[in-house]
Chains A and B, each alone.
Chain A
Amino acid sequence: GQQLNQSPQSMFIQEGEDVSMNCTSSSIFNTWLWYKQDPGEGPVLLIALYKAGELTSNGRLTAQFGITRKDSFLNISASIPSDVGIYFCAGSAGAGSYQLTFGKGTKLSVIP
Chain B
Amino acid sequence: SAVISQKPSRDICQRGTSLTIQCQVDSQVTMMFWYRQQPGQSLTLIATANQGSEATYESGFVIDKFPISRPNLTFSTLTVSNMSPEDSSIYLCSPRAGSGAQYFGPGTRLLVL
- Which A residues fall within an 8 A CB radius of B? 31, 33, 35, 40-45, 48, 50, 88, 90, 92, 98-100, 102-105
Q: Do A33 and B33 have beta carbons less than 8 Å apart?
A: no
Tell me which of B14-22, B42-50, B66-74 binds A. Answer: B42-50
B residues within 8 A CB of A48?
Answer: 99-101
Q: Do A98 and B105 have beta carbons less than 8 Å apart?
A: no
B residues within 8 A CB of A45?
Answer: 1, 101-104
Q: Do A103 and B42 have beta carbons less than 8 Å apart?
A: yes
Q: How far is the CB of B14 from chain A (nearest CB, A)?
A: 23
Q: Please report the C-alpha to C-alpha distance between residue A102 and residue B94 in the assembled complex, in whole angstroms.
A: 13
| A40, A98, A105: the one within 8 Å of B96 (CB) | A98
| B41, B44, B102, B105: the one within 8 Å of A33 (CB) | B102
Q: Is B31 an interface residue (CB 8 A)?
A: yes
Q: How far is the CB of B58 from chain A (nearest CB, A)?
A: 8
B residues within 8 A CB of A40?
Answer: 109
Q: Do B106 and A42 have beta carbons less than 8 Å apart?
A: yes
Query: Would you mind naming 30 contact pairs between A and B with Cβ atoms under 8 Å apart?
Result: A40-B109, A41-B106, A41-B107, A42-B4, A42-B92, A42-B104, A42-B105, A42-B107, A43-B43, A43-B92, A43-B104, A45-B101, A45-B102, A45-B103, A48-B99, A48-B100, A50-B100, A90-B43, A90-B102, A92-B102, A98-B31, A98-B48, A98-B96, A98-B102, A99-B33, A99-B45, A100-B94, A104-B41, A104-B42, A105-B42
